[in-house]
Amino acid sequence: MSVLPAAFLPTLVRRERASLAATLLAPPIALAVATILNLGLYVLLGRDPIAVVHAMLLEPFLSWTSFSEVLLKAAPLLLIAQGLAIGFRAKVFNIGAEGQFILGAIFASAIPVWFPQATGQWIWPLMLLLGALGGGLWASLTAFWRVRLNANEILVSLMLSLVAAQLLNYLLLGPWKDPNGFNFPQSVMFQYDAMVPILISGTRVNVSLLLTLAFSAAAWVFMQKSFTGYKLQVGGLAPRAAGYAGFNEGWAIWLSLLIGGFAAGLAGAAEVAGPLGQLQRSISTGYGYAAIIVAYLGGLHPLGIVFSALLMAVLYIGGDNAMVSANLPIAAVRVFQGSLLLAYLIAVAFVRHRLEWPRAAVRSQS
Amino acid sequence: MNAIDFILAGMLGAATPFLLAALGELVAERAGVLNLGVEGLMAFGAVLAFIIVYHGGGHFLGFVAAGLGSAVLSLVFAVVALGFRANQVATGLAIGILGQGLSALFGKTYESLTVKGLPKLAFPWLSEIPVLGSLFIQDIVVWLSLAATLALWGMFAYTKTGLVVRAVGENPKAAHAIGYSVTSVRVFAIAFGGAMAGFAGAYAAVVYTPLWADGMIAGRGWIAIALVVFGTWLTGRIFLGACLFGAVSLMGLAAQATGLDVPSQLLSSLPYLVTIIVLGIISADRRLLKLNGVASLGEPFER
């Protein structure tokens, strides 16, 4: 019946226990495979592959300035991915972090847009807090739809992201447009006190990197050590068992989405109050979607995500470099991201499975 | 032309990208596969069709290339999700990101360029009915999509093929036990879904709005996935849902034409808002979803 010559193809056989070696090797192998495939694509596009590799994967490390830009990019990716991973482990697929990020940026911008003269050290912390609330609020719509109306959270959260992008456009073309901004779709530049303080002088890296690392540590404690985190994971791995144990599914969905929205909103706030200094149309270059890849590539583990966020940030900065020096379209970064996730999903199959070739199968049966 | 005429004449055309993609996703989901990469598959098909039509290859060749290209991309999904038993949600998202990336990459030099659309064909007699007549003047792809809808409905209702696809989605173990290859059926269903998404993208790019712009699919692939839920996995209801979304996306334009003082961004987000609201209404009826839903949807099959 099969269309494939099944007799010659190896089959995946479940391992007795998960392979630690495969767990640790999957991300670097996926990176290597994705790099090779994409280099092939660049050759087809008529670009010099050596120049692209140099610009994309090496240059970000070659100067302190460009590495500090990597750290700057890594912060929002890390923050969003930590929040998403908690939900993904509970099998709550919030893929609307992009929208929650945008709402966080909008909420945070409300203060400098409405009170451009305000001064005081309290402004930027309040903005970050508002941003987190905005992201959580946007995510709570998805949670309500999922828990009370039984609607699929993947579709609702994604649709809300598209709505959020339109809301941002509306504000920037309408009520929040900078009156002295030559009609550009952007808000006023924020005042000094509305900016997150710089952490490393001479760079744009700001205090939000510390917040991000603190959130990562908290995510680790929450998921690996706390009973609440344990309940969420059981809900994801064995929903029926979680039900018998009396773990409330609706509560798990609310918690997952709120944490994800909170983190994404905080990231959005830190972006406008950090490197951008104003609300713009391009506040997010797909961070919300890239963070999904970061979360998976980090094995949905708080520690792994720290590394995958750095890698993704290198790809962003390196992609910008390659655009300038090797004339590579920026869309190539998205192609790389997609193929990286696919390669990882294949590599990670070997954590729980091993390949069995047809001949070996016959021998083991006899 | 008043607003009602405008919507009647344009509704089926606007509905066609939704309809084609949703019919493809319907077949995949009926076989138990949740492919969330539709948006990217549409974008990929769209750029292939646009490039071919722009260089004078003609619409037929454009649609063929879009269907084939997106089917091949969806086979990558099949290899990862079925062959390597990866999480279907993650795999679908990856294919979506990859498809959108490839679309932007290939389409970069075509930004803002235009091609010629397709002529409208009037259905004899029916197109002369007063008021409703404009509903029956459509291009060939719309007519073919309607035929495909009927054919799929017939397949699921009356043929053994339809029954096998449904059996594989409802109870893969039983289907396997009586000798059907679950994997083969699912591979074909995925490839069919990919090809249909490619046609949908092609229609959007070279017929409906024959102009290339990055991100032109604008969430229509996601709405198509939602349509399968709205239609509770039934062909006829999916068709009605697609018509509703065709009308909703025209309502924005009609409202702007009449000079209604509503922010254009609100009108642009109308299809997304309607999706969210309808999804809430339909899903709230848990019995309906349970009754019509596909039992093994999204779950990998292991013998």
**HEC profile for A147-171?**
HHHCCCHHHHHHHHHHHHHHHHHHH
Element (H, E) at A72: helix A64-89
Higher local confidence (pLDDT), B195 or A202: B195
Domain ranges of chain A: 28-355
Q: What is the pLDDT of residue A7?
A: 59
Q: State how far the Cα of B300 lies from the Cα of B302, in Å rounded to an integer.
A: 7
* Nearby residues of A272 by Cβ (< 8 Å), 6 or more positions away: A105, A108, A109, A131, A190, A278, A279, A283
CB burial class (10 A; 0-12, 13-18, 19+) of residue A247? middle
Candidates B272, B286, B290: best to mutate against A (most CBs of A within 10 A) is: B272
- The region of weakest confidence among A51-65, A153-167, B31-45, B245-259 is B245-259
Domain A28-355, what architecture?
Answer: Orthogonal Bundle (1.10)
Residue of B nearest to A144 (CA): B280
Which of B92 and A366 is assigned the larger pLDDT? B92
Q: Which B residues in the span 117-176 are in contact with A, Cβ-Cβ below 8 Å?
A: none
Instruction: Answer yes or no: are the C-beta atoms of A281 and A187 closer than 8 Å.
Output: no
Q: Is the pLDDT of residue A49 over 50?
A: yes
Predicted pLDDT at B75: 98
- Report pLDDT for A355: 85
pLDDT at B237: 95
pLDDT band at A366 (very low <50, low <70, confident <90, very high): very low
Pairing mode, strands A353-356 and B137-139: unpaired
B280: which chain A residues are within 8 Å (Cβ-Cβ)? 145, 149, 151, 156
Contact B97 A346 (CB under 8 A): no
- Any CB–CB contact under 8 A between A163 and chain B? yes
* B286 contacts A150? CB cut-off 8 A: yes
Give the nearest chain A residue to B40 (CA atoms).
Answer: A338
Of the pLDDT bands very low, low, confident and very high (cuts 50, 70, 90), residue A19 is confident
- List the domains of chain B with CATH numbers: 3-119+136-292 (1.10.3470)
Residue-level pLDDT at A4: 52
Q: Among A158-167, A230-239, B275-284, which stretch is predicted with the lowest mean pLDDT?
A: A230-239
**Does the beta-carbon distance from A149 to B280 stay under 8 Å?**
yes
Chain B residues inside the 8 Å CB shell of A156 = 276, 279-280
Q: Select from A145, A163, A335 the Cβ nearest to the Cβ of B102.
A: A335
B101:A2 CB<8 A: no
Which pLDDT score, from 0 to 100, does residue A359 have? Answer: 66
pLDDT at A1: 43
pLDDT of residue A92: 95
User: Which A residues, 87 through 106, put their C-beta within 8 Å of a C-beta on chain B?
Assistant: 93, 95
Asked whether the beta carbons of A289 and A122 are under 8 A apart, the reply is no
Of the pLDDT bands very low, low, confident and very high (cuts 50, 70, 90), residue B176 is very high
Residue A180 has pLDDT above 70, yes or no: yes
Which pLDDT band holds residue B289 (cuts at 50, 70, 90)? confident
* Strand ranges for chain A from DSSP E: 11-14, 353-356
Q: Is A29 on the interface with B (CB under 8 A)?
A: no
What average pLDDT does the segment A100-107 reach?
98
A94: burial class by Cβ within 10 Å (0-12, 13-18, 19+)? buried
The reply to whether residue A166 touches residue B266, judged by beta carbons under 8 angstroms, is yes
**For residue B94, how far is the Cα from the chain centroid?**
18
For the segment A245-300, what is each residue's pLDDT rounded down to a tens digit? Answer: 888 889 999 999 999 999 999 999 999 999 999 999 989 889 999 999 999 999 99
When pLDDT is averaged across residues A120-149 and rounded to a whole number, the result is 97
CA distance B194 to B72: 8
Q: What is the mean pLDDT of residues B201-227?
A: 95
What is the structure's pLDDT at A358?
76
How far is Cα A96 from Cα A287, in angstroms, rounded to an integer? 11
Can you give the pLDDT at residue A2? 47
Smallest Cβ distance to A159: which of B103, B222, B263?
B222
Tell whether the model's pLDDT for residue A210 goes beyond 70.
yes
- Greater confidence, A324 or A79? A79
N-terminal to C-terminal alpha carbon distance within chain B: 60
- The residue of chain A with its CA nearest to that of B176 is A1
Q: Which residue among A1, A166, A335 sits closest to B105, beta carbon to beta carbon? A: A335
Alpha helices for chain B (secondary structure H):
3-30, 38-54, 59-78, 88-107, 140-158, 160-170, 172-177, 182-203, 220-230, 235-257, 264-268, 270-284, 286-292
Q: What is the model's pLDDT at position A362? A: 52
ipTM of the complex: 0.93
DSSP string of B231-260, one letter each residue: TTT-HHHHHHHHHHHHHHHHHHHHHHHTT-
Q: Are strands B120-122 and A353-356 parallel, antiparallel or unpaired?
A: unpaired
Subunit contact A342:B94, Cβ cutoff 8 A: yes
Is B4 or A146 the better-scoring residue by pLDDT?
A146
